[in-house]
Amino acid sequence: MQETLEQTPSKQDYRPPRFPIRFSRHNADDLAKRTTGLIALLASLLVPIIALVLLFRAWPILTSKPLQELLLGTSWHPYKGIFGFLPFIMGTLWVTILAMVITVPPSLLTAIYLAEYTPSRVRSIIKPLIDLLAGIPSVVYGVWGVLTLVPLVEHNIVPLCREHLSWIPFLNSENPTGFGVLSGGLVLAVMVFPIIISVAEEVIHVVPQGLREASLALGATHWQTTKHIVLRQALSGVAAAVVLGFSRAFGETMAVMMVVGNIPQLPRSLFDAAYPLTALIANNYGEMLSVPMYDSALLTAALILLIVVLIFNILSRLVLLRMHRYE
Amino acid sequence: MNRRMIEEKLFKGLMLASLLIVLGSLGLIFLTVLKHGLPALNLAMLTQTPKGGYYLGKEGGILNAIVGSLCLAGGATIIAFLLGFPIAIYLQFYATRRRIAEVVRLTMDVLWGIPSIVYGAFAFILMLWLGVRASLLGGILALAFLELPILTRGMDEAFTMVPTALKEASYGLGATKIETAMKVVIRQTAPVILTAILLAFGRGIGDAASVLFTAGFTDRLPDSLFRPVASLPLAVFFQLATPFPAVQQRAYASALVLTALILFISILSRALANKMKKHIIR
């Protein structure tokens, strides 16, 4: 047996010795494969881990109160054990939806302009500027909102609406300050610009050049080509860009919290103060954990945020992924 | 002029107006912060820690917050890099099945979208379980979660840009995958990796919601991993929340410092990337 092995050292017979380990270059490669694979595996489990940890901590309140009461209750009295999330959910929705109404038209028009109408030299100047907008810390947005937008709303927009437009629902105001839904929406709108612009510009840019040329050759104008051919092709990607912007606005904390007033009520007009979910967590978590269920309630708020953002993000990323696959 | 030409002109005008709104708001933010921050800014603010009564308008500065932010973001960037770099290598070299790579990339994109306040809450729960109180370590942990997807996707995209021929040349010489990665691909992508690192670092400096419960706040300079640490965004936030105009002025000055720091990092990363680009094989 031993003799045959020595005589025919064929490759099939060779097994690397288990011990002692010889650390060859190929072992190193194998080790790298295993380590990086393990880290990648752990990282891809991070999303379910975060969701489960939040769910675990939110569990006490979720099991002790009916979901209906939590989500649709309008009063919030932690000391009495009453936790109704509706004012906060509505606060978040008002601010976020208003921000999207303000931000979507200019963002998409800018994205179209950058992708279709500007030469690449101009684009290479403008895009870094828009990236800069994405890099500004949210606290700085908040400071800008407090210094510029809140006074603007308080001294210009509210008096104007009170005089001329108070018959329109949502535009009558009893809030004496400028801290409210409109200021929050405006700050968020500017914060969402760079996300929608960069994602939408990218998906518009990858529409095949031949399609444009065919349309132009048939005598369509530049805008007609853009509207009927390019945008139709890029539609799902553009929608994904808008959804990404929405979920970014949905989870934004500091900037909104600095200008939105933070009063737990159901907003009735654009000028009313609101109290978004993110601000609820930021203002209260970490302290007063001795109040029963309080910590659980705040983490329920975090869980709601996470679930909404996860759904929107996964949907839009899947759409974008599919677009890139056809590229 | 017929109708479609009018429409063409109309929409071109609208698009230009939109671009002006977007760039105008960028300019307006910088101008506002500069206008309110500059008068309140002085050398003492940058070189001193808060003295007694600072938050009532007495003397002192925000050195604690500047140093604290650099420590927080620096630590978080190192951890995020140590985790993100192997993931990017795995995606590029070892993820043999396309589905696996897609799932990991999707996860990274989704992690990118999770609000920083959720990372803050998550990190705080982990800290409770580990028995760590609000501290530099906790802040680094929360920020590392936030920075991980930014760094990983940045490096992943950098690696994707490397020409296949270059990798094949390396394999052809008998190099293993990890050798190719560490000796060829890294050099080729160094400027982009550096940009990604600085981008993540900047994001770490600017984020407030994730360090709100995890890092706490203090007037001292950071001296231990297990003590609370101040951060620049929270310094802005807390000073603005005081009822004293003099302290609010300082919040504007702090916001100016923060903005300048972010701008500097952004410009630095661009300049470095451009300078190093000439060493790349095309």
Helix A25-44 with B63-89: angle, nearest 10 deg = 120
Helix A181-205 with B3-37: angle, nearest 10 deg = 120
Expressed in angstroms, the distance from the first to the final Cα of chain A is: 59
**Is pLDDT of A175 > 80?**
no
How many angstroms separate the Cα of B185 from the Cα of each of A53, A150, B89, B228?
38, 50, 10, 40
**Is pLDDT of B257 > 50?**
yes
d(CA B174, CA A300): 55
Question: In this complex, how many residue pairs, one in chain A and one in chain B, have their CB atoms less than 8 Å apart?
Answer: 254
Question: A102 contacts in B (CB within 8 Å)?
Answer: none
pLDDT of residue A20: 58
The answer to whether A51 faces chain B, any CB pair under 8 Å, is no
**Is pLDDT of A144 > 90?**
yes
Beta bridge partners of A326: none
d(CA B268, CA B271): 5
| Type of residue at B89 | I
Give the confidence band of A288 by pLDDT, cuts at 50, 70, 90: low
The answer to whether A305 faces chain B, any CB pair under 8 Å, is yes
Provide the ipTM: 0.92
Give the model confidence (pLDDT) of B22-54 as tens digits: 999 999 999 999 999 998 888 888 888 887 777
The answer to whether B6 faces chain A, any CB pair under 8 Å, is no
Give the confidence band of B142 by pLDDT, cuts at 50, 70, 90: very high
**Is pLDDT of B140 > 80?**
yes
Q: What is the residue extent of each domain of chain B?
A: 3-40, 47-279
- Nearest Cα of chain B lies from the Cα of A299 at a distance, in angstroms, of 7
Q: B residues 15-34 near A, CB within 8 Å?
A: 15-19, 21-23, 25-26, 28-29, 32-33
User: For B110, which of A222, A285, A313 is closest by C-beta distance?
Assistant: A313
Q: Tell me if A250 and B87 make a contact (CB, 8 A cut-off).
A: no
**Is pLDDT of A1 > 80?**
no
Q: A residues 243-302 near B, CB within 8 Å?
A: 244, 247-248, 250-254, 258, 278, 281-282, 285-286, 298-299, 302
Hey, what are A262's tokens? 């933070």
Higher pLDDT, B205 or A77: B205
Average pLDDT score over residue span A159-181: 77
Q: How many CA atoms lie within 13 A of B233 on its CB side?
A: 29
Q: Tell me if B196 sits within 8 A of B102, measured CB to CB.
A: no
Q: What angle do CA A110, A115, A119 make, to 5 degrees?
A: 105
CATH T-level fold of B47-279? MetI-like fold (1.10.3720)
Give the confidence band of A70 by pLDDT, cuts at 50, 70, 90: confident
Average pLDDT score over residue span B145-159: 93
Q: Which of A94-108, A155-169, B243-257 has the lowest mean pLDDT?
A: A155-169
Q: Tell me if A324 sits within 8 A of B105, measured CB to CB.
A: no
| Residue of A301, A103, A300 lying closest to A185 (CA atoms) | A103
The answer to whether B42 faces chain A, any CB pair under 8 Å, is no
B254 Cβ neighbours under 8 A, 6+ residues apart: B37, B45, B62, B65, B232, B235, B236, B239
Q: Tell me if A144 and B152 make a contact (CB, 8 A cut-off).
A: no
pLDDT of residue B72: 95
The answer to whether B134 faces chain A, any CB pair under 8 Å, is yes
Question: A37 contacts in B (CB within 8 Å)?
Answer: 90, 94
Question: A278 contacts in B (CB within 8 Å)?
Answer: 115, 117, 209
Beta bridge partners of A83: A76
Q: Tell me if A126 and B114 make a contact (CB, 8 A cut-off).
A: no
Secondary structure of chain A: what % helix, strand, coil (to 5)?
75, 0, 25
Expressed in angstroms, the distance from the first to the final Cα of chain B is: 49
Q: Tell me if B202 and A135 make a contact (CB, 8 A cut-off).
A: yes
Higher pLDDT, B10 or A5: B10
Q: A residues 2-31 near B, CB within 8 Å?
A: 25-26, 28-29
Question: All domains of chain A, ordered by start, with CATH?
Answer: 50-326 (1.10.3720.10)
